[in-house]
Structure 1
């Protein structure tokens, strides 16, 4: 049976901003096509996408990624059996130990419960299952929890975000979950040079007639750039279906991912720059061969003065590159949809069906439902 892969391509302009910075506070960048480009890491947009799930999916379908898993389980054990409140930490520690999760003392809390060595990504259903197992073992003076049962509770009923983004535990490979989604680092379609904003903050309480120490209460600089970005992600629907085990849940997960990835924005320095925008154009392609990143459309950076400006030029290049690549490799998409603002949407009309965002999400969902139950 042929695979079902959903490719998501986004062209999006971001005004002066610093939405994803490095360890020095500078906007991240990368050299591509021999010139310096603005870059937003895949981790930053994955996080923004996951945050957007809160408004699109029920909490029962999502998970939690944390080191403070003992604290989480303690709360759930206490909710289920208030009479076990005094033993809840002991029970939580025991059930996690049975599952093979290594714990250590917290770095900043002398009297707090232990933490996992690494960030642990568990679905809410899995946390509930582990809490139930701990309560069941509470009848013994010293909790004895079956290891197979504990690992089983941690490896069933995966949440949408765990299934999409995966789970990797170096010391517990049996609990690893292969990610169904891949997210590329976003890069600008043109060369970028960072700029600096010199700012001052006035002390409101300082008397106007004070002559000593006159001036701002604080001064500094913040680095920024502005860019038209090419963003890309894909979803392997078959792998997602295999992890979730349900066609309806798979459709809901893909629809949520498409909408969240398209409309989300990392929050770095957002209060400083108010840089949140929506994409200028979105191209979604359903394939049955392999995912295809179309960044090659921008290997030659768009230059100042290109006909139609950067955004129109970027969308036109995306459409042309996709069309030429499909022809060269005999690649026939299963379906394709395009969302565009004004004439930018028309540039994609020859290779995709023009739709609104709701039409895009609904069309992808219908195709996934049809192909998930074959």
Structure 2
């Protein structure tokens, strides 16, 4: 079933106190130059990881996805539990089942595959189900006979269907086996500060509790940090998500709402014990579009400069940018929803009245379901 394109764009303004959410190889908070000014940056990979982890926390362990080089080990464990095989036979049978996938072996000790494979744990159960009641019989065959029997089973196909929501959202790429690829339905931008940012240094010391002979520190060091109001953006292609989830309308609508919730509430964990940087956004804007995704980061090409707070001015800029895109390009959202703290006439005109966040999520669910069922936003 072909679904016309529908995009759910999520825009977030969030102030973060002194922190080091995402550091480079030297320990410095990541940065980028935008509009000729140095900005704080949090990579898309870091926030996708945080979003996926938050999403997974609400999913039963047995139904979750995992990204690992140890598919054979996981499969062996499930075989041992489901079929009562000892560790040696389960491992041997698992190795035979994985072989048709054509995954390159790793050259490093302790690793099974050369790259991480993203899959659902229930998909392993699907592979085991292919054995029927022959697991014990097959585990006792010589290697060549075992490989010949397994080759007749559609092992590869089991990883191309029944994707968990995490895989349906974030996709999967296997460079040497295109048949296992899953196109991601989510794109996430690098988060950027709406203003100029300067990296600072925290000099710290640690005291040796058992040292009573002198007053010196047991350890000294520095950690780099910054603080910023970040503009965060992600877009979700509902048509692609629907396809990845096997054309399941209710699952697609539910996953869309949960993704927005997880993207908004998640936070990368870099140096979290040092800075306790967990905050919630000042503003969440959702624009549902039938033409194309639109990132509104151009609102901050000229850095925000304010002595009375950055977040309020950043919100005003975002409202102006949305209205500018609409009037200049005729790119009118099919639906605009927002949750924000500081209400002004400008925000109300651009975004509509602020909604409690749970209500915003309910409206996303209804809009996606209406599009999939009736071809219109309801």
Aligned pair 1:126/2:127, yes or no? Answer: no
TM-score (norm 2): 0.92
Runs of 4+ with >6 A deviation? none
| Separation in 1, partners of 2:20, 2:255 | 30
SS of residue paired to 1:179: coil
Structure 2 residue runs of 5 or longer lacking an equivalent are none
Q: CA deviation at 1:99?
A: 2.0
Aligned pair 1:301/2:300, yes or no? Answer: no
Aligned pair 1:224/2:225, yes or no? Answer: yes
Q: CA deviation at 1:125?
A: 2.1
Distance 1:60 1:160, change over 3 A: farther
Give the equivalent residue in structure 2 for 1:361. 361
Q: Is the 8 A contact 2:83 2:136 kept in 1?
A: no
Distance 1:215 1:232, change over 3 A: same
Q: CA deviation at 1:165?
A: 0.6
Deviations 1:66-89 (A, max 9, x none): 011111111111110113543111
| Separation in 2, partners of 1:372, 1:147 | 38
Give the equivalent residue in structure 2 for 1:289. 291
| Separation in 2, partners of 1:175, 1:77 | 22
| Separation in 2, partners of 1:193, 1:134 | 59
Distance 1:228 1:325, change over 3 A: same
Give the equivalent residue in structure 1 for 2:180. 175
Give the equivalent residue in structure 2 for 1:68. 70
Q: CA deviation at 1:4?
A: 1.1
Give the equivalent residue in structure 2 for 1:19. 21
Distance 1:45 1:147, change over 3 A: farther
Aligned pair 1:313/2:282, yes or no? Answer: no
Q: CA deviation at 1:323?
A: 0.6
Structure 1 residue runs of 5 or longer lacking an equivalent are none
- Of 271-280 and 82-91, the range deviating more from structure 2: 82-91
Q: CA deviation at 1:348?
A: 2.6
Give the equivalent residue in structure 2 for 1:253. 255
Q: Is the 8 A contact 2:83 2:135 kept in 1?
A: no
What does 1:132-211 correspond to in 2, within 5 Å?
132-133=129-130, 136=134, 138-140=136-138, 141-142=141-142, 143=146, 144-146=149-151, 149-207=154-212, 210-211=213-214
Deviations 1:115-164 (A, max 9, x none): 11100001122121123335745423032213660111111101111111
What does 1:335-346 correspond to in 2, within 5 Å?
335-343=335-343
SS of residue paired to 1:338: strand
| Separation in 2, partners of 1:137, 1:83 | 8
| Separation in 1, partners of 2:249, 2:233 | 25
Q: Give the aligned length.
A: 362
- Of 346-355 and 147-156, the range deviating more from structure 2: 346-355
TM-score (norm 1): 0.93
SS of residue paired to 2:160: coil
Let me know the Cα RMSD of the aligned residues: 1.7
